[in-house]
Chains A and B, each alone.
Chain A
């Protein structure tokens, strides 16, 4: 037991180091390329310009304005951290992020007008979870179920079809499938026959329905195309991946031995094949849930879905450095937490780890 705790602690420390590593890497990229300085300078210039205009409007004499503006310039530069080089400025930012103080954004706002980054994330995260978590759970459930089935019927027609689908899913980008679905199922019926079968994007209709039930149904309606797209793309690989895991476990010696002992096939499958297959399947599931927080950037853009991916993309196009930092940190943090959860889950589901 003590050794188990020690292993988990070592894993945890490694993961924290990874987290810090990513942040340092990010800081170096933004700092060393001069992007951070450039951003802050443009903000400073804008602020000082506005202050100067304000003084001129109030009718002060030019000499005073000159002096006041210079003073203001200096204090603002200090406040923004421009008087220090990036390698002095950015470590503070990293430290703040690690303590989960995400700061405020420069340009982006949440739907209720707050520019605190934690509010921005609270605003968008549920939307992403609605989109990706439902998509992944649905696809994975059906895929895993089918994979377990064909894993014991290798070589059947279903098996061959699934392996082709799995290859296709590797080559089919989710965002392109989404584009095609929007074109064919949302715009084509509307333009050719004048009926709107599926909405072309967004999360709710404008204006949103006021009745809660109607609201939920409206969101589900908007969710249907993204879900269909992710089902088409990921279903094959879930089924095929599960099939391979089941297949390799069922070729192990202990399975052959269980069969040789004359145990009923149902028992062999449940206890000797499914149980050891569980950890790798869980790994897939949890890691893809973790990735989904960040991974649907392009697809969210295609569907105009107001989630985390869209937020990250607008942060980058608006050059909102604190938001870029905070989101990258959150994405990595989610991944690292997922990895740690996995380590613990392995211990629970795999007696071989628990007992050594």
Chain B
């Protein structure tokens, strides 16, 4: 039977899809923490270094221009040390046709002994021009009264300087833009996010827009300088130059690595689909057997109820239930099971009716077997293989329903799912920004999972459905 199943192209393709999806899920379960959603995915702080809303790295192979990659470098020791001056030197080779999307300077474990040290940042451009981006860091808390040296700062959370949001840096960069002949004001630079264009570009017109700058390729040397007491030091300095492409799947508006969110969606989708389909089918098969075998008023009641549940406009009710009960995974599963069993009951009952009239059931009855015993020993076994196929058939429906609910903003907020990624994409202007990498992959994964299960069901049905088998 298995050979027959694999030989059909639908069965083979479906099995392959599901196999890959299961392997990915296992990998995710092993390598991701269970609280990934709350700890990382929904925590914007965790993603602050990442470039925002940029396509995947392989996008570079499909466009005639080159987008800069993400640059991160950590220095745990000063590159140069002269007397009381320490220098951390970062060398960034800019060789792209488009501009990076932002610059971030971070450091941790600042230790000083007397006055607050002066931390400055400057960049030497390939054309020989040197821009001082920052004279001093005004964000270092001074010693508290009674605090003894050494004073240690930024131990738990690093000092983060987002250059495009730092007034001092913007002022200096604006002044530099004016020397290039571009008429910018500080608010222009801040609001339009022109900082990377000015630092990494040469001017081709005097209008204060991004198009006025052409990339100036070559080696950029960023120098972080600390002037203070001889013993003053910084534990780790990090320079991030946010790229215009990132990772395997790009990033969203918060800079989240979409590859991670999509990966985490695999086990979640399979779990929701599997659990809902299993529970709904279990209830459906039980009710179908009982209603079909016992008959009479029980049958009438169960069938009328199933008929109603099967035909009601379920989507509004699903939305309402999840909204009222609260957006949690458990509630979503509960509601999907509640509206999912009816179809199975109707199918199983029709099978039971034909089994019921067969001779071995009559014989068992004559031999004095109880109802429960007959249902368990004679009715259930022939129904079981088909029930298994029905579980597979019901999985894609559950996955699609969850995705739909999530798309309406009713998903469990603590877990990233494909539907939620799509919802956030839709609500945060992915369409308007043409962020195709944010919309197409989650949707295709939803569709592909569903297709996998549908194909397996199509290949399985003729093998397990007694009615189709006979033909």
Contact = CB atoms under 8 A, between A and B. Distances in A.
Interface of A: 14, 18, 21-22, 26, 29-30, 33, 35, 167-168, 170-173, 175-176, 179-180, 182-183, 186-188, 191-192, 200, 287, 290-291, 293-295, 297-298, 301-302, 312-313, 316-317, 324, 327-328, 331-332, 335, 339
A29 B323 CA distance: 11
A162 B235 CA distance: 66
A106 B27 CA distance: 50
Given A294-B315, A297-B319, A173 B434 contact: no
Nearest to A201: B431
A109 to B, nearest CB: 21
Contacts of A168: 451
B404 A302 contact: no
A335 B308 CA distance: 10
A254 B447 CA distance: 42
Nearest to A316: B323
Contacts of B323: 316
A108 to B, nearest CB: 16
Interface stretch (B28-36, B119-127, B156-164, B436-444): B436-444
Contact of B447 (A14, A171, A339): A171
A176 B325 CA distance: 26
User: Considering residues B316, B434, B440, B450, which has the most beta carbons from chain A within 10 angstroms of its beta carbon?
Assistant: B316
A175 B407 contact: yes
Nearest to B438: A183
B454 A22 contact: no
B434 A327 contact: no
27 contacts: A29-B321, A33-B324, A167-B455, A168-B451, A171-B396, A172-B450, A173-B403, A173-B404, A175-B407, A179-B426, A179-B443, A180-B439, A180-B443, A183-B431, A183-B436, A183-B440, A186-B431, A187-B434, A188-B434, A287-B311, A291-B313, A294-B315, A297-B315, A301-B408, A312-B316, A332-B312, A335-B311
Contacts of B450: 170-172
B400 interface: yes
Interface in B290-337: 304, 308, 311-313, 315-317, 319-321, 323-325
A179 B324 contact: no
A168 B325 CA distance: 33
A294 B313 contact: yes
Contacts of A188: 434
A339 to B, nearest CB: 7
B96 to A, nearest CB: 20
A29 B320 contact: yes
B312 to A, nearest CB: 7
Given A173-B404, A327-B316, 7 more contacts: A22-B308, A22-B312, A172-B447, A180-B440, A187-B431, A298-B407, A313-B408
B451 A171 contact: yes
A18 B303 CA distance: 13
Contact of A294 (B316, B426, B436): B316
B161 to A, nearest CB: 33
A335 B313 CA distance: 8
A173 B434 CA distance: 21
Contacts of B89: none
User: Considering residues B312, B408, B440, which has the most beta carbons from chain A within 10 angstroms of its beta carbon?
Assistant: B312
Contacts of A170: 396, 450, 454
A175 B442 CA distance: 13
Interface string B385-422: 00000000000100010011001110000000000001
Contacts of B403: 173, 176
B442 to A, nearest CB: 9
Contact of A176 (B408, B422, B454): B422
B432 interface: yes
Nearest to A297: B315
A182 B431 CA distance: 8
B446 interface: yes
Given A171-B451, A173-B403, A180-B440, A18 B308 contact: yes
A136 B37 CA distance: 40
Contacts of B321: 29
Contacts of A331: 313, 316
Contact of B319 (A18, A29, A187, A313): A313
B112 to A, nearest CB: 50
Contacts of B308: 18, 21-22
A210 to B, nearest CB: 28
B411 to A, nearest CB: 13
Interface string B204-224: 000000000000000000000
Nearest to A200: B431
A328 B316 contact: yes
B320 A26 contact: yes
Given A176-B443, A183-B436, A302-B426, A167 B454 contact: yes
A173 B400 contact: yes
Given A180-B439, A297-B315, A328-B316, A173 B447 contact: yes
User: Considering residues B320, B422, B451, which has the most beta carbons from chain A within 10 angstroms of its beta carbon?
Assistant: B320
B324 A29 contact: yes
User: Considering residues A168, A173, A327, A331, which has the most beta carbons from chain B within 10 angstroms of its beta carbon?
Assistant: A173
Nearest to A325: B320
A170 B436 CA distance: 24
Contacts of A295: 313, 315
Nearest to B304: A14
B312 A324 contact: no
A172 B403 CA distance: 12
Nearest to A293: B313
A179 B316 contact: no
A183 B324 CA distance: 33
Contacts of B325: 33
User: Considering residues B313, B436, B439, which has the most beta carbons from chain A within 10 angstroms of its beta carbon?
Assistant: B313
Contacts of B436: 183
A327 B320 CA distance: 11
Contacts of B315: 294-295, 297-298
B458 interface: yes
